[in-house]
Amino acid sequence: MFGGFDISLYICGVKQSMVMYSSRDIIEFIIVIVGEFAKRHGMSDTLAFRYLDKYAAISYLKNNYGIAHTLPFNDVVDSLSIYCKTRGGNV
């Protein structure tokens, strides 16, 4: 606290949201995105999940849910494809 003000809520002068998302919402979103990723790349949902998990994209998606869930699915799938490629993925 700094003068009654919690400075940790501010990063680079921008107040960070204290919104909490339900686990159910996050899980449902991840399921939908995995399905969209699978369709885009012509693979099963199981294979898509394993691929995304191998390259830490599931954690990335979970950690960035606050932004990701506001974007069109195609944009999220594009981002995950790039994210995985930067980590050695080839899909």
pLDDT digits (tens, 9 = 90+) for 35-88: 999 999 999 999 999 999 999 999 999 999 999 999 999 999 999 999 999 999
pLDDT digits (tens, 9 = 90+) for 2-36: 344 444 444 444 444 557 899 999 999 999 999 99
Q: What is the DSSP-derived secondary structure letter of residue 58? A: H
Q: What is the pTM assigned to this prediction?
A: 0.78
Q: How far is the CA of 63 from the CAs of 6, 46, 88, in angstroms?
A: 23, 21, 20
Whole-angstrom distance, CA of residue 49 vs CA of residue 30: 9
**Contact at 8 Å (CB) between 88 and 57?**
no
Q: Which residues pair with 2 in a beta bridge?
A: 5
Whole-angstrom distance, CA of residue 91 vs CA of residue 85: 7
